[in-house]
Amino acid sequence: MDTNLIEEAKKYITKLFEGHSDGHDLNHSLRVYENAIKIAKEEKGCDMEAVALASLLHDADDHKLFDTKDNANAAGFLKEHGVDAERITFIVSIINSVSFSKNKGKTPDTLEAKIVQDADRLDAMGAIGIARTFAYGGKNGRTLEESIEHFHDKLLLLKDGLNTDTAKKMADERHRFLEEFLEHFEDENPLV
């Protein structure tokens, strides 16, 4: 794995996500990277560098943040750093398999894509997932109750859609925490 390229990708997303704080930000991408590396170490036989780069760059062209086409930010970074076209295509294919809304019900074709998809979904669960939901909801004018709908539409579905055994183990506690939070929220809120 080219550690210099990984460090350059971290620098790139640090600059790219400046000013973003809605849960799709630098720290989210870094957590997805850490989750992906942890999973990849357990799920043998994957291309670690592709996992690392795809996880770091997975939101570089997110439609909620950027008005780009054809993964222009991610592909541009890779091209600028001398990554060959075939490898860029592979890394971009991993990135394109991550989105929950765009890939609902689809299983990625490669182990690398399964790992990065799982890593991203893990960051939407547990305490971090709850915090991200309300950060995004607040930025977009959603009430607490409207944000709670996101739990039922997405967050509670994530555990059963994970691909790797490692991610499934990591998800157990996070999923329980989501369920417990909802119980407390509903007990305390007469509006739901």
SS (HEC) of the chain: CCHHHHHHHHHHHHHHCCCCCCCCCHHHHHHHHHHHHHHHHHCCCCCHHHHHHHHHHCCCCCCCCCCCCCCHHHHHHHHHCCCCHHHHHHHHHHHHCCCCCCCCCCCCCCHHHHHHHHHHHHCCCHHHHHHHHHHHHHHCCCCHHHHHHHHHHCHHHCHHHCCCHHHHHHHHHHHHHHHHHHHHHHHHCCCC
3-188: which CATH topology?
A: Hypothetical protein af1432 (1.10.3210)
Give the model's pLDDT for residue 24. 76
Give the model's pLDDT for residue 130. 94
Give the model's pLDDT for residue 181. 95
Give the model's pLDDT for residue 101. 62
Give the model's pLDDT for residue 102. 67
Give the model's pLDDT for residue 100. 64
Q: Each residue's pLDDT tens digit in the chain (192 positions)?
A: 889 999 999 999 999 988 877 767 889 999 999 999 999 999 989 999 999 999 999 999 888 778 888 889 999 999 999 999 999 999 999 999 887 666 677 788 999 999 999 999 999 999 999 999 998 888 888 988 889 998 998 899 999 999 999 999 999 999 999 999 999 998 898 876
Read off the pTM.
0.91
